[in-house]
Amino acid sequence: MKKSILNYSLLLILPLLVMLSSCSDDDDTVQPSVTAPAGNNNGNTASENYFMINGGPFSNVKLDYASASLIRAWNYTSDSTILYFNRNSTDYATVLLNGNQTGTYSWSTTNKLEMIFQYNGAYYTVSCNELTPSGSVVVSVYGVVGSRVKGTLTATGTAKDAITGTHYPINLSGKFDLLRAN
């Protein structure tokens, strides 16, 4: 139970820490030896970072992170990875994977997604974890630092309206092509 609380805390605190640390004078450019695909100045592919939501009030709603202020993949520990997508402080997604290589990661207590987004004036939260009935993250490429982490994800779960508390059954799919930061 303590580990579960710690993991959930990490997913909620990480975006705040990333936002605070991103205010430094560090150079965020891609190293010259790395060929970055067309996209934003973070070296991310314009068409490869999105989530698609269907169900409830959502009909093919695409959350596009192509021009996000920060999208990266980190090796959090020697055997886990964080995929982070951030458009602003109220629109972000974090995926925590218990692994650092290609493969399929089913939603569990160690493989999770936490997402907050705005749609039609309302805020929604989505959580994928051990309670998620189906879906997974498939990592097809896991490159060295400075190269790419690519893959797809799917989930059948719920989106919760943050104001009314209403839960909507949804199908979530997505694709990512992120620069690996460490």
The whole-number pLDDT of residue 41 equals 43
Q: Cα–Cα–Cα angle for 127, 130, 136, nearest 5°?
A: 75
The whole-number pLDDT of residue 54 equals 96
Rounded-to-integer distance, Cα 164 and Cα 182, Å: 39
pLDDT at 182 over 90: no
The whole-number pLDDT of residue 37 equals 36
pLDDT per residue as tens digits for the range 71-118: 677 776 778 888 888 877 778 888 999 988 999 999 998 899 898 998
With H, G, I as helix, E, B as strand and everything else as coil, classify residue 155.
Answer: strand
Over range 144-155, report the average pLDDT: 90
Report the residue count for the chain. 182
The whole-number pLDDT of residue 56 equals 92
Rounded-to-integer distance, Cα 43 and Cα 35, Å: 9
Determine contact, residues 125/160, Cβ cutoff 8 Å: yes
What is the model's pTM? 0.72
